[in-house]
Structure 1
């Protein structure tokens, strides 16, 4: 329960400057007018909850209206962001109050069966039913130590600026997005500006972003965005390539783009913060250890409308299972649900009085929803209970997907 001297209201367009300044305070970032203007363009004040004390904003929780690709479908998902409470008002229940209210309002609106977020601290959001549904791979590559196949590719590479290449980037991304689990829609020019924001304060001595497009006779088939950082030692150049995004429509485009990035003159190191866990590069290079891969957490998913969420995505194998689910915040999700999946992967999900085969909370369903975490792994951790022998194996296979989720951006 929020402190009695604090009020919580829906946001207003005039709140932006105070919210942005508060976000910069909470995340220990210097103020930037340019960054503020870019973020303001995507701000949805009607989806922001503002906590005030004496007229001063001391907390907020917001959401963006975007779609998220899930296994076999594209689903409206509340992209939760700008969550924080002033250090002077911690431990008063303000975050809990805002997060509970936000979830209820998303559920009552009935548009989005899911909510998703990136966690600043991973211990926070499981309290509200968010499960760690997708991970990312961080790469730190010794470029002199890896080689790619010399297979010829039919296309060519073209250097472009971020602005001049934007039309092609969007066309490639939107064509591929329905098949890439974890990708979010970029529904406007403002969103492309936000995703590729190039704040000089974040460069730490590196260049602005550069971009390259892979062209084929049929048109653009992939692109990469990166920046570089020079470094000279007595032994010679030791520059670094910092990859922001690689989007490729086929293996030829993928190979050509990575061959380019790994061979930029005067560089000896390449870093990428958000590769896929099953990144194909791991199976292309001759010395995969030199990629120095490290797993990090990524997208957290909260199921808001259970029957709609489970019936909307597709599945990897037929299934007929009764799930007993507990949701302490959204009571409409609590109960027994019969999930039926046909041979084509399409599903129905309905309430049932039949005996349960598996038992879990809403958090576990969010964790496995994108196909990046296996139900059996959660069962091994004691988070899912098998009540009917064999049901766990069948459900684990069905909830999987052909590729792991891939996260191209934070929000």
Structure 2
């Protein structure tokens, strides 16, 4: 029900309700989601892509809004979330990965999405999960539900004439790169990713169904390119990095113009990054290497001889929601001591709203109700945006979107929340 309908007892009932769903109803929910996001595939094709992962992870978190106004119940809205173990600033913790959110086009602007989001947040909170995260199809939607844009990732490309690494790039002659079908080296991929995800903020631990999805290699994933291959770099102690990529064969009047499209690349040592980049840049007939998604602090631009030739395009990725704000702020380490009273608004999770004294340090924080005057007034989505340590609150202050009552509070809080390593997820869920 919309806010206006809840506030006015005389308002007519909306004719729809929100409830939990199940595997049998999943095709109807997927139909709504596909229509809302303008998917070009038919429902059967879309189900073939979506259903294996959802079946493996369970359907008990699936929510639907149903309209029975004409006698036959119709699904008009949907929202779901995956149970993740995602690395946050305090370490790996449970996170609700929100997905499958959509409203049937004829039922927009009626409060359907608001009711789904409110119910979902209540469910997540009841499960004791302190965070939710999502990738937003439209950035204008989710701030009002308390999500903040917390992470920026990069995409870039490098043309062959400029794909040269610095002479002093770290190289280890003991490392060897092998090129294999991904399933043959899946154990190596899983080992490297687990090591990286344990410490890189924003990564989640990939279970078997997620690896199945990442390594899926049918025509839809290829998009006219070749089969997925895995370049794995390792030495005596095992694998230390990998790149998953596809190639495209192109020709022009002046010769080969092939492309390598890198779906994913990661490593645990500097020399492994060098080995992977030099493998990609040395492929015969490849004139251009495209990187779909890189962390903001990826070594690539530092290792290139002419870093300006690989123009980075920044794009928002993870949006973070502090479902249990007190718990989230309490378990996070801080880069500098901080103490202030925060006045927080939260329309969809009222248990977070109020005045709170935050006293923080390197080992965590104490967050307690406060009666005194606030030093800073802001919404929970501002705290979600800043929580991963990449997005400062200063921009919101300069834009007039948060209110600093005590000068210097925002600078001090930004300093305390900051992390030098960039968050990264890399997988759209």
TM-score (norm 2): 0.90
Which residue in the other structure is 2:315 paired with? 296
Which residue in the other structure is 2:279 paired with? 260
Given candidates 372, 375, 381, the residue that maps to 1:357 is 375
Q: Distance in 1 between matches of 2:293 and 2:153?
A: 5
Deviations 1:343-364 (A, max 9, x none): x342222222233222211010
Given candidates 93, 98, 107, the residue that maps to 2:125 is 107
Which residue in the other structure is 2:227 paired with? 208
Which residue in the other structure is 2:60 paired with? 46
RMSD: 1.9
Change (3 A) 1:182 1:36: closer
Q: Secondary structure at the match of 1:164?
A: helix
Equivalent residues in 2 for 1:129-140 (5 A)?
Answer: 129-140=146-157
Deviations 1:65-90 (A, max 9, x none): 11221224122111000001122322
Shift of 1:101: 1.3
Q: Distance in 2 between matches of 1:360 and 1:22?
A: 34
Shift of 1:43: 4.6
Note the residue ranges of structure 1 that are not aligned, 5 or more in a row.
none
Shift of 1:42: 4.0
Given candidates 6, 18, 26, the residue that maps to 1:8 is 18
119-128 or 16-25, which moves further after superposition?
A: 16-25
Q: Distance in 1 between matches of 2:133 and 2:373?
A: 31
190-199 or 78-87, which moves further after superposition?
A: 190-199
Note the residue ranges of structure 2 that are not aligned, 5 or more in a row.
3-12
Deviations 1:34-78 (A, max 9, x none): 424433334532111112232332321000111221224122111
Given candidates 236, 247, 262, the residue that maps to 1:243 is 262
Given candidates 17, 20, 35, the residue that maps to 1:25 is 35
Which residue in the other structure is 1:93 paired with? 111
Residue 166 (1) aligns with residue 177 (2): no
Change (3 A) 1:269 1:213: same
Whether contact under 8 Å (1:200, 1:208) holds in the other structure is: no
Deviations 1:204-223 (A, max 9, x none): 21012110111121111111
Residue 336 (1) aligns with residue 355 (2): yes
Q: Distance in 2 between matches of 1:304 and 1:84?
A: 21
Shift of 1:238: 0.8
Which residue in the other structure is 1:375 paired with? 393
262-271 or 214-223, which moves further after superposition?
A: 262-271
112-121 or 193-202, which moves further after superposition?
A: 193-202
Q: Distance in 2 between matches of 1:85 and 1:126?
A: 17
Change (3 A) 1:225 1:378: same
Given candidates 228, 242, 248, the residue that maps to 2:247 is 228
Given candidates 321, 330, 334, the residue that maps to 1:315 is 334
Q: Distance in 1 between matches of 2:307 and 2:391?
A: 23
Shift of 1:324: 1.6
Whether contact under 8 Å (1:26, 1:86) holds in the other structure is: yes
Q: Distance in 1 between matches of 2:332 and 2:282?
A: 40
Q: Distance in 2 between matches of 1:199 and 1:24?
A: 20
Q: Distance in 2 between matches of 1:395 and 1:45?
A: 39
Shift of 1:315: 1.7
Q: Distance in 1 between matches of 2:418 and 2:166?
A: 30
Change (3 A) 1:208 1:16: farther
Matched residue count: 408
Q: Secondary structure at the match of 1:144?
A: helix
Which residue in the other structure is 2:133 paired with? 116
Whether contact under 8 Å (2:33, 2:103) holds in the other structure is: no
51-60 or 177-186, which moves further after superposition?
A: 51-60
Equivalent residues in 2 for 1:139-178 (5 A)?
Answer: 139-150=156-167, 151=169, 152-153=171-172, 154-178=174-198
Change (3 A) 1:242 1:89: same
